[in-house]
Amino acid sequence: MTTPFGPSYVRAIAPYIAGKPIPEVARQFGLDEARIVKLASNENPLGMPESARRALAAAAAELGRYPDSNAFELKAALSRRYDVPSEWITLGNGSNDILELAAHAFVERGQAIVYSQYSFAVYALATQGLGARHVVTPAVKHGHDLGAMLAAIDADTRLVFVANPNNPTGTFIDGATLEAFIAKVPAHVVVVLDEAYTEYLAAGKRYDSIAWVRRYPNLLVSRTFSKAYGLAGLRVGFAIAQPALTDLLNRLRQPFNVNTLAQAAAVAALGDAAFLERSALLNAEGYRTLTAAFERLGLEYVPSDGNFVLVRVARDANDDAAGERVNLALLKQGVIVRPVGNYGLPQWLRVTMGLADENAAFVAALERAIGAQ
Ligand code: PMP
């Protein structure tokens, strides 16, 4: 027998499961692509903003050249928006890139990373990819147990991931509770606060994590243009942290990790407050529609502050096949959502809020799928 390639911790990685693309579902189930509804990847149902589309067309003329490695324009725009120096900003090929960079920059093999059960899958992947130790604290009501996370930190811990709101559960930690937690995290541990869905928060729930970055040298805030800004396909995210952290991320990142089109579109989208507001309003309306339907159908759901909602499709406490079964019944009707068995939630499905007609199509398909159980 030959020795397998690669370290054992890399061979042990469970690959990320992405939402199924529309063409794949069309091929697999013999459906018309145009009639398929995809509510599986927490994308903005409005698509890309018109402002970004125009910026893309203009930037296309520059594609023979490398991107600006330091992304001067985008960093300057972010610097103005958040009132931090450009030197505090790191750009990523999506915020996924930021999460990976942070793990690589601050943790070495054998050291520990703390994150919560049911938190975003990339935390486990980044930990595993380093050969670091996973310290996973049990969730409470599907959300982070910050007390347990604090208690789990020891001398080997170098990083803590917190998602607020969290994916796939949509759970939210209020600002005061979160800041009290950050204040108690020992100085040798970096807190990566992943705010991929922060633009969807209702006005009363917003908090100023950038002000915390000024106070806590071990805090890194991660944001993305993939969700409310509608640019998921372009791959652009960013981190804000003090220079001691930012400097390390910048050394590790690929010199051209954010491409020319992504930089141009992100600048345009960042300035498009009207699009952001429309997106958040549409999302709130979609949440009301979906949760009202779940209540009518007697289905449990986890209250969500993101652009998606987790719904329990099992009627019977032991029915761990429910998620996959209902998912298949939905796929056959041309509706793509996300089964979350890989998160240890086999009785649940995660549904992204869509346009009004997409939400209606999902509810009708769900009713048929559940009725047929
Ligand atoms: N963080 C969370 C909590 C997410 O749900 C996602 C997307 N699924 C990401 C980060 C990464 O998104 P992106 O790389 O597109 O910025």
pLDDT at 273: 96
Instruction: Please spell the DSSP secondary structure of 174-200, one letter per residue.
Output: -HHHHHHHHHHS-TTSEEEEE-TTGGG
Buried b / exposed e over 315-325, threshold 16 CB at 10 Å, is eeeebeebbeb
CA 163 to ligand 1 centroid distance, Å: 10
Which atom of ligand 1 is nearest the CA belonging to 224? 16
Measured distance CA(339)–CA(126) in Å, rounded: 22
Instruction: Kindly list the strands in the beta sheet with 301-302, ordered across the sheet, starting from the edge strand earlier in the chain.
Output: 301-302, 308-312, 345-352, 338-340
Domains belonging to the chain, first-starting first, are 8-47+274-371 (3.90.1150.10), 50-271 (3.40.640.10)
Q: Cis omega before residue 21 (within 30°)?
A: no
For the purposes of burial, counting CB atoms within 10 Å of the CB of 271, is it exposed (0-12), middle (13-18) or buried (19 or more)? middle
Residues near 308 by beta carbon (within 8 Å), at least 6 away in sequence:
39, 42, 167, 168, 170, 350, 351, 352, 353
Give the separation between CA 19 and CA 69, rounded to whole angstroms: 31
The β-bridge partners of 205 are: none
Tokens of 29: 């189930």
DSSP 223: E
Query: Do residues 351 and 311 touch, judged by C-beta distance below 8 A?
Result: yes
Q: How far is the CA of 165 from the centre of ligand 1 (A)?
A: 11
Residue to substitute in 43, 220, 226 for testing ligand 1 pocket (most ligand atoms within 8 angstroms of CB)? 226
Pocket test for ligand 1, best of 16, 144, 167, 236 (most atoms within 8 A of CB): 167
Mean pLDDT per 10-residue segment, the chain (373 residues):
88 86 94 95 97 96 96 98 98 98 97 98 96 98 98 98 98 98 98 98 98 98 98 98 97 97 98 97 98 97 98 95 97 97 97 98 97 69
Pocket of ligand 1, beta carbon within 6 A: 42, 94-96, 120, 163, 167, 194, 196, 224, 226, 232, 237
Among 161, 224, 259, name the best residue to mutate to test ligand 1's pocket (greatest count of ligand atoms within 8 A of Cβ).
224
Whether residue 165 has a cis bond before it, omega within 30° of 0: yes
Q: Check if the beta carbon of residue 133 is closer than 8 Å to that of residue 155.
A: no
